Structure 1
Amino acid sequence: VTPLAYLNANLPIPSFRKRDKARVRMVEMISEIVGARRASGNRGEDFLQTLMDARYKDGRSLTDDEITGMLLAAMFAGHHTSGVTTAWTIIELLQNPDYLAKVMGQLDDVYGEDGAVTYQSLRQITLTEYAVKEALRLHPPLFMLVRVAQEDFTFKSYFIPKGTWILISPTVSHQIGEVFADPLRFDPERFAPPREEDKRDFAYIPFGGGRHKCLGNAFALLQVKAIVAVLLRQYEFELVGDEVGSDFHGLVVGPKEPLRLRYERRDRTVKVAVGGAADAIDEAAGRETGDAVRLKVTVDRDLCQGHAVCIEEAPEIFRIADDGRVQLLQSEVSGNLCAKADMAARYCPNGVISVEPLADPAARAGGCPMHRS
């Protein structure tokens, strides 16, 4: 797939003809699997079965062509982009050995010699997360995002007619010096408090933004962090001298080939464990309690995508409504719910939850640890 697909995905060029021929074959293969399952009555525990069971509001099921499209989109968005981001993260770390040493130090502190990689431990390796986010800033997998105006609207002094294609470039946005200090430099600490340069609305957009932000953004970040953590603990890597550059020939911008690495296995075993999201206490949150601590919780439901991370953190405060988006069970919290609300806000993939101290002077005097003045 080439960037020409942004402009016209149906051009009569060899690569598109090859793509279309392959898609026809994919529909045939998936149709055979769907037909065999339906004929036998066997049910799978996979995404294909989910799509087979899905229904539109009018009760209509998905066609085999639609199922194929969904599966291809999931494979393309969920594997290629994550693989490229993992590669860029390791490359940037190898080019910045001082920060790599900090990352390795934190990995050793969190995991020791044989600690298991768990959901909770991945939250504790913040330096790795900052490195992944900085790799995404410098090398967003998609250098162009496309939206189509569904109705006429005016933005500032610009009139945008219905049907207009709007192209946004994360590559350009991420190099705006007014937002990102020294934007061409690999500086993962720009994401750490108190700088947090990614907090400005729609400045950091490797996954897009708004209500149509990539649905897999939270999983992708978690996935790449896990892969990088396992690889760095299990192998020593070294660049062998090839020029490092970006290849813009494909739709996903990966490293220009050849870019070779030398690697050597470390003398350690890396374990990966499966656990629940709230399977341990996050020490960084500070779980102070007390009735004097009161917070106001607000949710931007328009931007919520229903990831339900907040429900894992604080089921007493949040629920998923019938429309698939989060709904508040209580907008004012106190005591031990204060820290839970903080955690929900911190880990919300779309940042739609905000918490702030109530105006009550007594609440300010007590204060949740993350909200003291």
Structure 2
Amino acid sequence: METISSPTSSVPIHPGMPLLGNTLAFLRDPLAILRTLQQRYDRVVHLRIGGRHQYLVLRPDDSKHIMQENHRNYGRSPAFNVLKIFLGNGLLTSDGDFWRRQRRLAQPAFHRQKLAVLAQTMVQETADWVDEVKQHNQQPVNVSQAFMDVTMRIVCKTLFGSDVVGKLDGLSSALDTLQYYANQRMLSPIRFPMKWPTPAHQRFRRASALVDSFIYGVINQRRQNSTSQHDDLLDMFLNAEDEETGERMSDQQLRDECVTLFAAGHETTAVSMAWTLHLLANHPDVLTRLRAEVTSVVGDAPTPSADVFRALPYTMQVVQESLRLYPPAWIMSRLAHQEDHIGPYTIPAGDTALVCPYLLHRDPTTWPDPERFDPDRFAPGREKDRHPYAYLPFGGGPRLCIGNQFALMEMQILLAMVVREFDCRPVPNQRITPQPLITLRPKRPIMLYLIK
């Protein structure tokens, strides 16, 4: 990509309203305005949203420049301050040297050998959940909520092991409350101080106290029984030691990383799985081909060995294509510390650069007929035909999601075990459209018939 020190062109400004700029259009329908921008502009467009100047980049090579080649110039944008209110200073929200230290400490927990140990837990929890779903035969199933339930169980068991048995009451709804509050506060043009006793703030504090009580309780119990061995992520975090300083995570740091994994680890996977089943229910040819692969490889054992799920290439293609159409992290923002140049255009210091996987995944120059659901886009060898930053379901560069392999493994296991047991059929007259909040959720719960 060409980078020059003297810009020659002004970044085109997308027309907006006096004072408000493009804020109301984004609040009303962000995906619609993004598609308009993709069709109207070629490389970079200047927006004014929420009183801030924001620069949306539209090409994969420019996205790579921001997220990888010049990543040290870009930090977390002000939008992440809202997430910090309940996530704390975990990997998703932290920056600079602290983030680099935490990343070094957490990285070993997500190595392939460690994930292999957790995979069997995923299989067992999914098998138990499938048995429960079978009770709904012939009745529509709210798959949005059903996947929230099973991914919560999986993240709790893989994170905390058997310590969490019988302690999950209210935890899922508390996390939903925290995420809903963050969504509302992020989108609201008026933000009251947190100390004001508004009903929303009081609900937030109650939910936050419940989550903290649960997580600190498990951490304290684990520290008091330090001689016990556990094959879970908390044990790996507790024993992680900085190679440079010998330091370990404090209770606060453990709490922040656990809440981040809770919030990001179960909600994003659940939303992605609901979208995937929605797509399969409306594409029975893909579902038939997928089931043929699963039944021939996985067999009919009630609780298969986790190893067999590695030999499901078409299953992974279905997961990847679903993540293309509905990436949970649909837009990413970065704050420019110093002035930067995208070709002939300047991104000023202190302004925000936007990278939008939702648009990159629908760019017709990379993805012909981009709205079509076609898992063969990810057939072996096809990745050579596209720019690596044309597909960013987990971000890119040094801040690539640390749990990406965990999430892909979980989705592959969930999908295989669901299609092995059920046929998926849409509920008639159900209009499903995306709602871009912090993650790309459906506006209303996805209801499907899951027929044994």
Name the TM-score class by shorter chain.
0.5 to 0.7
User: Any residues of structure 2 matched to 1:172-251 within 5 Å, and which?
Assistant: 172-196=359-383, 199-248=386-435, 250-251=437-438
**Contact 1:242 1:259 (8 Å CA) reproduced:** no
Provide the C-alpha distance between the structure 1 equivalents of 2:403 and 2:211, rounded to a whole number of angstroms.
23
Q: Once the 2 structures are TM-superposed, how far is the Cα of residue 216 of structure 1 from its aligned partner?
A: 1.3
**Contact 2:331 2:354 (8 Å CA) reproduced:** yes
Residues 51-81 of structure 1, C-alpha deviations (whole Å, 9 max, x = no match): 4444555555544333221111111121111
Aligned to 2:68: none
Q: Any idea what SS the aligned residue of 2:354 has?
A: strand
User: Any residues of structure 2 matched to 1:1-373 within 5 Å, and which?
Assistant: 1=179, 2-3=182-183, 11-12=191-192, 15=200, 18-39=203-224, 43=228, 45=230, 46-54=232-240, 57-58=244-245, 61-114=248-301, 117-196=304-383, 199-248=386-435, 250-265=437-452
The one-letter code of the counterpart of 1:252 is T
Provide the C-alpha distance between the structure 2 equivalents of 1:109 and 1:40, rounded to a whole number of angstroms.
44
TM-score by length of structure 1 reads 0.62
Q: Once the 2 structures are TM-superposed, how far is the Cα of residue 212 of structure 1 from its aligned partner?
A: 1.0
Moved more, 195-204 or 11-20: 11-20
Q: Any idea what SS the aligned residue of 1:141 has?
A: coil
Mark the CA change 1:115 to 1:127 in structure 2 (over 3 Å): closer, same or farther: farther
Mark the CA change 1:193 to 1:9 in structure 2 (over 3 Å): closer, same or farther: farther
Q: Any idea what SS the aligned residue of 1:248 has?
A: strand
Q: Once the 2 structures are TM-superposed, how far is the Cα of residue 96 of structure 1 from its aligned partner?
A: 0.6
Q: Which has the larger radius of gyration?
A: 1
**Contact 1:174 1:183 (8 Å CA) reproduced:** yes
Provide the C-alpha distance between the structure 1 equivalents of 2:221 and 2:183, rounded to a whole number of angstroms.
37
Q: Once the 2 structures are TM-superposed, how far is the Cα of residue 179 of structure 1 from its aligned partner?
A: 0.4
The one-letter code of the counterpart of 1:261 is L
Q: Once the 2 structures are TM-superposed, how far is the Cα of residue 34 of structure 1 from its aligned partner?
A: 3.6
**Contact 2:274 2:446 (8 Å CA) reproduced:** no
Mark the CA change 1:141 to 1:182 in structure 2 (over 3 Å): closer, same or farther: same
Residues 201-235 of structure 1, C-alpha deviations (whole Å, 9 max, x = no match): 20001111112111111221121011110011112
Q: Any idea what SS the aligned residue of 2:450 has?
A: strand
Q: Once the 2 structures are TM-superposed, how far is the Cα of residue 264 of structure 1 from its aligned partner?
A: 2.7
Q: Any idea what SS the aligned residue of 2:388 has?
A: coil
**Contact 2:318 2:375 (8 Å CA) reproduced:** yes
Residues 126-174 of structure 1, C-alpha deviations (whole Å, 9 max, x = no match): 2211111111111111221122334443232233344433222211111
Moved more, 76-85 or 160-169: 160-169
Q: Any idea what SS the aligned residue of 1:146 has?
A: strand
Provide the C-alpha distance between the structure 2 equivalents of 1:96 and 1:62, rounded to a whole number of angstroms.
47
**Contact 1:148 1:163 (8 Å CA) reproduced:** yes
Unaligned runs of 5+ in 2: 1-178, 193-197
**Contact 2:329 2:393 (8 Å CA) reproduced:** yes
The one-letter code of the counterpart of 1:22 is A
Provide the C-alpha distance between the structure 2 equivalents of 1:177 and 1:90, rounded to a whole number of angstroms.
24
Provide the C-alpha distance between the structure 2 equivalents of 1:123 and 1:33, rounded to a whole number of angstroms.
32
Mark the CA change 1:192 to 1:67 in structure 2 (over 3 Å): closer, same or farther: same
Provide the C-alpha distance between the structure 1 equivalents of 2:303 and 2:216, rounded to a whole number of angstroms.
40
Provide the C-alpha distance between the structure 1 equivalents of 2:377 and 2:316, rounded to a whole number of angstroms.
12
Provide the C-alpha distance between the structure 2 equivalents of 1:61 and 1:111, rounded to a whole number of angstroms.
40
Q: Once the 2 structures are TM-superposed, how far is the Cα of residue 109 of structure 1 from its aligned partner?
A: 2.6
Provide the C-alpha distance between the structure 2 equivalents of 1:214 and 1:9, rounded to a whole number of angstroms.
29
Mark the CA change 1:258 to 1:116 in structure 2 (over 3 Å): closer, same or farther: closer
Mark the CA change 1:29 to 1:199 in structure 2 (over 3 Å): closer, same or farther: same
Higher share of residues assigned helix = 2
Provide the C-alpha distance between the structure 2 equivalents of 1:108 and 1:25, rounded to a whole number of angstroms.
42
